[in-house]
Amino acid sequence: MGSHRFLPNTLQDRDDILQACGVKSVEDLLVGIPAEVRFKGTLENGPALSEMEIRKRIHALTRGSRHAQGGRSFLGAGVYEHFCPAVVNQLTLRGEFLTSYTPYQPEMSQGTLQVLFEFQTMVADLFGMEVSNASHYDGSTSFAEAALMAARLSKGRARVLVSRGVHPEYFDVMKTYVANIGIELVPVPLDNKGQTSQAALKSLLAGDGVAAVMCQSPNFFGCVEDQETLAGLAKGAGAVFVTNVAEPLSLGLLKPPGAYGADIATGEGQSFGVPPSFGGPFVGLFTSRMEYVRQMPGRLCGETVDAKGRRAFTLTLSTREQHIRREKATSNICTNQNLFALWATIWLSMVGKEGFKEMAHQNFSKAEYAKDAILKTGKATLRYSSPTFNEFTVDVPSGAAAFAKACVARGVAPGVALSRFDPNDETGLLVCVTELKSRAELDELAALFKALA
Amino acid sequence: MEFLKKTTSQTVVLEEATLFENSRPGACGIALPPLDVPAADVAKVFGNWARPNDLHLPELSEPEVVRHFTRLSTWNYAIDLGIYPLGSCTMKYNPRLNEEIARSGAILEAHPYDPEEWTQGHLAVMHELQEDLMRVTGHPAVSLQPAAGAQGELTGLMMIAAYHRAQGKPRKTIITADTAHGTNPASAALAGFQIVQVTTDQDGSVHPEAVKAVLNNDVAALMVTNPNTLGVFEKHIKTIADMLHEAGALLYIDGANLNAVLGIARPGDYGADVIQFNLHKTFSTPHGGGGPGSGPVTVSERLIPFLPVPFVEKKGDAFSLSFNRPQTIGRVKAFVGNYGMFIRAWCYIRALGGEGLRRVSEDAILNANYLRSQLKDVFNMPINAPTLHEVVFNDRNQRDSGLETTKIAKRLIDYGMHPPTVHFPLCVRNAIMIEPTETESRREMDRFVGAVKEILATPDVEQAPVRVPRERVDETKAARELKLRHVFR
């Protein structure tokens, strides 16, 4: 192999380096690796391709994608398609943001650090909570770590009650996270309005040892929960109340977690203009009361001063973290999800206070319009009577999966068939409507129900 | 300070207030099309569940937002600006094509619940990446799901716990080495294990006798980075792997330093049962100022049943997500993993091919050994063993002149370059850990060497750094007087 475009060393450079090292060949530098463990073959990862060839390959592979096919989607279920101004993509391409490391050397990372301070401020404010961390992998892992933090806060208690309104994949992740550390997850069913059953919650709370009650609002089925009452029940039993906001744009209209007494509130920041990207990378949100800050997982950025007394920012409270505390850390998480915390920060500052409220209201209005239009076809019924934000569950008696498949053949994904999560749920379809859909597209969706359901 | 003058110049850096200080009522950065459906009534539908208090999101026009973040970007250092020799962090160049493709419409707009008719290409890329990673480690199975290296560790350790449970003999102890990253013990604790630490020998490797001394039938696995954080290949690894397996325990290899051994040594060949990748290190997906990472794991036959679900399966010409693993540990993350990072890593592997990947490791080793050759006469090298992609020094030779590790690191900042990893690994006092990676040119490495030598030759100067927008940052004050957000009046 001759030179490669990513590698500055020419063959001459390689020779010069070998000479500087006082050896004859690269092999001489590998003497520390015992012969018995050396790989004798060559890696079968194909030939080195040029940019042109890679472009052609990816183009050929994704020819059938929704984008290439011009398809439209009413899919949500934890991943929401929102408008993203061109500025966000452009600014996040700046090499100073894109190709820097974790800001361990604050003097040469003030850009990243100030962004994190701004991110923490905006997330905490939207959630009505006192403190936000610098972000987490995603919503599902934020929520799972919230269960661990809640258990730490209520020492000796090991039962965590989790509403069935929580995203099923989030529930699965939490199950994995607690499998080895003695925390028991107990699901709390929904009532016939699609909200966490207060009767079931009361009876589960009557037993001892409940560390936390964990809910999501709007919940997986789109229903807004009576969070104030649920929080009251949890606290009455001495449990920590944790809530998840999988669609935080809803906070433009709805009471935030801090206002109904959440102790820990998590969320998925994908909603802040982060592209769906087939499921990631996203950005997990993690907020809490200030009194619990030393039990929080993840990075925190704080304001301080430099040697000249000027305002400066730095990572702080690292005594909670793995690189200092090792097995006694509050989490094994290393970095935050910085590039997408930046993405969300730019998006939120572009959308701004009025834009955020207006976008939230458009989502709500369009979803209400679509809901009415679908119900008017007589081909589907509303499963739950609870208020919804931009997503709702309908029953398609002729079968949700079959209906969805028929629509896809016409270029539209009408919603997520709930049989994906529960094979017994043959009729449920979760429909999501955001500001990106025009009235004509909503009418088209209703027409598909009429024709195909 | 001739070298400093010759290689740097000082330029103006603009101050920038926070978004909240810049905000002015009435400004807005976006416009939405007018609402084309009837406005729904918030109060009527939500009653007292409606938001009672207003938001404090900033109000700024588009040009103000662009200036704000562009100015802040100039306060950052980055690989695109120069050498970033953080040991065990593998700060290599991030090819731009990967970024362009990962940000194209076909990739960005794909929803994880899109019907499989639309996602065949995405699943094909994932499947190919699965195959690529298995070829690199010599393992028979893989999960792309973990969100980052630390989550890959956790995934591997949870599989190890599940393996022992399935054998009917749960085990509670993980052996780690004193060269380990903090994530190793932290991940082990989260997977329900207790930790026993072994000490690395003076020759830079863990000795089988040290392992033997702590190996018993409660040991679930030994977890070690290879090559370790001294840049040394664990020379007894095969013997240790055999000892562990003999005792019913497993071997976890932390893949943080995989960049040293692509095509040179495969963990699967020497007995590793699980290894996590850090696609943001070895396969050049951008660090982004601290994430996102992506931490796939590959495993030996023993651990296949416990891998997370779902995974991509190929039947004939069709790809699908399979959940068929009855003994799985479950999901570690919603959806399929950090797909955007898979795309970038896939592009990177395609650009290099098998032979190029080996060349990557060779050049990484060459560059690190070049720096070693240039600095070995000025710095003390506490472990004098053959090193691969990184080299660890300390400040012993400098202590008399009052120059200690932190001071040297901070002074490098004034030369416009990022310091190496310092005070890690913990087994070396005042460590200075240097990993140039294969994407540094000799010119750039010589700039680094020149700076280091000038710093060491001029011990007495003002407290560095001074040629930056902010001088030494008061971290104690930050922790003592916590201010974690802007306070709105």
pLDDT tops 90 at residue A324: no
Q: Tell me how crowded residue B385 is: count the other CB atoms within 10 A of its CB.
A: 17
Chain A nearest-CA residue for B162: A180
Q: What does the pLDDT average to over A312-336?
A: 90
In chain A, residues 12-71 whose CB comes closer than 8 Å to chain B = 13-14, 16-18, 20-22, 26, 29-34, 36-39, 42-49, 51, 53-55, 57-58, 61-69, 71
Instruction: For residue range A421-432, list pLDDT tens digits in order.
Output: 999 999 999 999
* pLDDT tens track for A290-309: 999 999 999 999 999 999 99
Residues of B in contact with A18 (CB under 8 A): 366
Task: Report, as an integer, the average pLDDT of A144-154.
Answer: 96
* Arithmetic mean of pLDDT over chain A: 97
Tell me the fold of A67-81+352-452.
Aspartate Aminotransferase, domain 1 (3.90.1150)
Token readout for A421 is 């999560």
**A366: pLDDT confidence band, cut at 50, 70 and 90?**
very high
For residue B363, the model assigns a pLDDT of: 98
Q: Chain A residue with minimal CA distance to B91?
A: A101
B364 to chain A, any CB pair closer than 8 A? The answer is no
Q: Would you say residue A322 has pLDDT above 90?
A: no
Choose the mutation target among A84, A108, A408, A410 for the interface with B, i.e. most B CBs under 10 Å: A108
Q: Does B43 touch chain A (CB under 8 A)?
A: no
Q: For residue A175, what pLDDT band results from cuts at 50, 70 and 90?
A: very high
Q: Which residue is associated with the tokens 């984008």?
A: A67
Query: Is the alpha carbon torsion for A112, A114, A119, A124 positive or negative?
Result: positive
Domain segments of chain A as ranges: 67-81+352-452, 88-346
Per-residue pLDDT averaged across A160-164, rounded?
A: 98
What is the pLDDT at residue B11? 85
CB contact under 8 A, A301 and B484: yes
Q: How far is B242 from chain A (nearest CA, A)?
A: 13
Q: Which residue has the higher pLDDT, B311 or A335?
A: B311
Q: Which residue of A has its CA nearest to B119?
A: A65
For residue A155, is pLDDT > 90?
Answer: no
**What is the DSSP code (8-state) at residue A268?**
E
Cβ neighbours of B486 in A, within 8 Å: 117-118, 121
The confidence band for B51, taking pLDDT boundaries of 50, 70 and 90, is: very high
Rounded distance between C-alpha atoms, residue B225 and residue A416, angstroms: 42
* Residue whose structure tokens are 């939490």: A174
Partner-chain contact B290 A365, CB within 8 Å: no
B219-225 and B173-177: which strand pairing?
A: parallel
- A65 and B121 within 8 Å at the Cβ level: the answer is yes
Question: Which architecture, in CATH terms, is A88-346?
Answer: 3-Layer(aba) Sandwich (3.40)
Range name among A67-76, A151-160, B249-258, B386-395 with the lowest pLDDT average = A151-160
Distances, alpha carbon B242 to alpha carbons A185, A257, B18, B237, B273, in Å: 38, 53, 57, 9, 11
Show the domains of chain B with their CATH numbers.
Answer: 100-351 (3.40.640.10)
Contact yes or no for A96 and B154 at CB 8 A: no
Candidates A104, A95, A13; CA nearest to B288 is A95
A311 three-state secondary structure: strand
CB contact under 8 A, B101 and A138: no
* Amino acid, res. B319: F
Per-residue model confidence as pLDDT tens digits over A97-112: 999 999 999 999 999 9
pLDDT mean over A254-266: 97
Give residue A430's pLDDT: 98
Half-sphere exposure of A4 (CA within 13 A, CB side): 25
A contact test, residue of B65, B473, B475, B482 with most A CBs within 10 A: B473
- Chain A CA closest to residue B195: A327
In this structure, which amino acid lies at residue A29?
A: L
Contact state of A280 with B331 under an 8 Å Cβ cutoff: no
Task: Return the closest-CA partner of residue A118 out of A350, A339, A348, A351.
Answer: A348
User: pLDDT by residue (tens digit) across A119-148?
Assistant: 999 999 999 999 999 999 999 999 999 999
pLDDT at B347: 98
Task: Look at residue B348 and tell me whether its pLDDT is greater than 90.
Answer: yes
A264-268 vs A210-216, strand pairing mode:
unpaired
On the question of pLDDT at A325 being above 90, the answer is no
CA–CA dist A219, A171 (Å, integer): 12
Q: Which chain B positions have a beta carbon within 8 Å of A43's beta carbon? A: 135-136, 262-263, 354-355, 357-358
Q: Do A109 and B20 touch (CB under 8 A)?
A: no
ipTM of the predicted assembly exceeds 0.95: yes
CA-CA distance, A171 to B389, in Å (whole number)? Answer: 41
Count chain A–chain B contacts defined by CB atoms under 8 A.
685
B471 has a chain A CB within 8 A of its CB: yes
How far lies B219's CA from each of A112, B171, B212, B215, B216, in Å? 42, 6, 11, 6, 6
Whether residue A173 is predicted with pLDDT greater than 90 in this model: the reply is yes
pLDDT of B119 reads 98
Our CA angle for B480, B481, B484, nearest 5°, is 115
Q: Taking 90 as the threshold, does the pLDDT of residue A321 lie above it?
A: no
CB contact under 8 A, A107 and B472: yes
Nearest to A200 by CA among A211, A187, A212, A210: A187
Calpha distance B200→B231 (Å, rounded): 13
Which site among A180, A193, A337 would you substitute to test the B interface, given the most B Cβ atoms closer than 10 Å to its Cβ? Answer: A180
